[in-house]
Amino acid sequence: MKPAPFAYHAPTGVGEAVSLLADLGEDAKAIAGGQSLVPMLALRLAAFEHLVDLGRVAGLRGIERRGDDLWVGAGTTQAAVERSADVARDVPLLARATPLIGHFQIRNRGTVGGSMAHADAAAEYPAVALALGARFEARSPRGTRTVPADRFFTDLWSTDLAPDELLTGISFPVWRGRCGFAIEEFARRAGDFALAGAAVAVELGDDARIARCGIGLFGLGPTALRAAAAEAALTGTAAHDATGDEVGRTVLAALESVPADLHASAEHRRRIGAVVVARAWRRALQEAGDA
């Protein structure tokens, strides 16, 4: 099937893109890599009178060190993140998550901002943003505001972005010290969306206690989730007080419900969810211990 007809707009500046989205209102949609939006348009699950293509907006692309953060422009492709030495050094969790996204053809066009704004519950990047405590920069005619990751993902395919707000960039804090990072997922085939996954960041103090940790979950709720209660319970404990299996069980026990679909019952998802959390926790902790 072909998409319903639309008018095509190709702004070259961030300000121009923001004005277009505001002026065209509810009948307009931003399109970045098109890897999620185009299938929805082609299947006629969505239709818009205007598409505002972000592909020529240079101000949305780039990877820059900004103080204690690594800023990634929303329009930066997932392939550029995968190739970036800065991402590999400063935000290893983001680097390790990227090859798990679809296939390289998808990552060549798909953008970091598109994945975050689309907010698929099974996507890797939102969970990485939650685990690391990233901040989202949104711009509209009313100005620019910053939204912390744990307020950005609100529900099924929903974010805190207003319809006329453009996501311009994401600031990932650079975790320093004795840190370890791991992402684990279970997918039926390589390149498929995960049935369940976990992204973990851990920092150890000099006393080998957990100084801080972040646990982001995907495929286990209506949107990416942060295991905030488990993070709080683990912080300050001796690193090996809780085994990976215990952490996995605790994190999953705190989820009131997990999704069920054709591919996995809720019970099965709970089981594999606990396993991926346990594996990611163990690997992150081991890396932090070796640092």
Residue where the block lists tokens 């609100």:
154
| Selected range binding ligand FAD among 99-107, 207-215, 258-266, 282-290, rule: CB under 6 A | 99-107
Binding string, 13-32, against ligand FAD, x = CB under 6 A?
----------------xxxx
Using CB under 6 A as the binding rule, the residues of this chain from 66 to 85 that contact ligand FAD are 74
Q: How far is the CB of 234 from ligand FAD (least distance, A)?
A: 26
Query: According to the binding rule CB under 6 A, does residue 37 interact with ligand FAD?
Result: yes
Using CB under 6 A as the binding rule, the residues of this chain from 157 to 176 that contact ligand FAD are 161, 166-167
d(CA 164, CA 21): 6
CA distances from 136 to 39, 71, 214, 271 (A): 26, 10, 17, 32
Q: How far is the CB of 19 from ligand FAD (least distance, A)?
A: 14
Per rule CB under 6 A, count of chain residues that contact ligand FAD = 31
Query: According to the binding rule CB under 6 A, does residue 96 interact with ligand FAD?
Result: no
Q: How many other CB atoms are found less than 10 A from the CB of residue 213?
A: 26
Nearest CB to ligand FAD, comparing residues 31 and 230: 31
Using CB under 6 A as the binding rule, the residues of this chain from 217 to 236 that contact ligand FAD are none
Which of 30, 104, 44, 27 shows the shortest CA–CA distance to 74? 30
Handedness of CA 21, 106, 144, 64 (dihedral sign): negative
Q: How many other CB atoms are found less than 10 A from the CB of residue 132?
A: 25
Question: Residue 253 in contact with residue 263, Cβ under 8 Å?
Answer: no
How many whole angstroms from its chain centre is CA 247?
A: 22
Which residues bind to ligand FAD, rule: CB under 6 A? 29-37, 39, 54, 74, 101-102, 106, 109-111, 113-115, 117-118, 120, 123-125, 161, 166-167, 193
